[in-house]
Amino acid sequence: MIDDNLSPPAAFGQVYAGGINLPALKRAALLMTAVAALALSGCSKGMMADVTGSIRPSADMRIPSDPAGLRLFAEEWARKYDANPKDRTTGLIYARALMGLNRSAEAVAVLQGLAIQYPKDPKVLSAYGKSLADAGRLPEAAEVLSHADTPERPDWSVHSTRGTIADRLGNHEMARTYYEEALKIRPGDPTVLSNLGLSYALSRQLPKAEETLLLAAKEPEADMRVRQNLSLVLALEGKFAEAEGWSRRDLTPIDAAANIASIRQMISESNTWRDIQTGGAAKGGKGAKSAQGKTAAYREPLPQNLGQ
């Protein structure tokens, strides 16, 4: 049985996870059954944020990364939004700032208003759909994103986000179809490959997950989250030395060791983690039912490319 008091480590997840939170690493038992993190890459802070979703209405616009700067930025754009709530660019930037502050419900409201004003604008629909996913409103997000691009002008970030939604709903085969479509448009993108790798892990295909995450980690644009996802899968396979080696690329030796030690302990204590390693949970046993019940409850981070 899965311990209801446990939750995934902050360092890992589908597309995005924020900074390392060692206390949270000790609560990682649900990670591989709710993994996630698609980030997409993301829109809030913490796992769902890096999830900080990247709505990018302007190539020159940069959102502050420090909390104080982000709050001031949000206040500035709140005033601009109040003065002209129908302005597309203002609304997109303000919503991005709100998501960076974990104010998902407000971001959804802002983007819903924009979607009413611009019902056929791909960037508005993309940002709105991703904000809904960030808020955990997955069926609504999937519906909005189905209208956010066209066969003539496909958007790889929309496909990737739809993949993370499908993974979060437990439809891993469909999720991988979306990731593969995203990779046709943006070959070798490390965040999409990372999400694809975690999707394989969710299906208990750990060797395939490792292979895919290795490809992601070798990409020049791969970041810490990709490498930590690879470290996680290696640890699940029992390759602890390799896992710690990848973890040390971003963490101090002490933190990396503590990270892997946490995973090792949970593997030894949790039937669910052993099922993931052996494929037992996929055979419909008691652990599989427990895992399935948790999948929709865990909100993983959205892609870094939100609205890109």
What are the angstrom distances between the C-alpha of 48 and each of 157, 209, 282, 300?
16, 21, 26, 5
Residues 78-107 pLDDT 10s: 999 999 999 999 999 999 999 999 999 999
Name the amino acid, one letter, at 68.
A
Residue indicated by tokens 């997109």: 92
- Measure the CA dihedral 17/18/20/23, to 10°: -80
Contact (Cβ atoms closer than 8 angstroms) between residue 144 and residue 129: yes
Distance CA 151, CA 268 (A): 47
Contact (Cβ atoms closer than 8 angstroms) between residue 164 and residue 39: yes
Distance CA 61, CA 72 (A): 15
54-69 b/e (C-beta count within 10 Å ≥ 16 → b): bbbbeeeeebeeeeee
Distance CA 57, CA 53 (A): 12
Residues 227-260 pLDDT 10s: 999 999 999 999 999 999 999 999 999 999 999 9
Residues 158-213 pLDDT 10s: 999 999 999 999 999 999 999 999 999 999 999 999 999 999 999 999 999 999 99
Domain 22-295 CATH assignment equals 1.25.40.10: yes
Residue 9 DSSP symbol:
-
The pTM assigned to this predicted structure is 0.73
Residue indicated by tokens 């104010």: 103
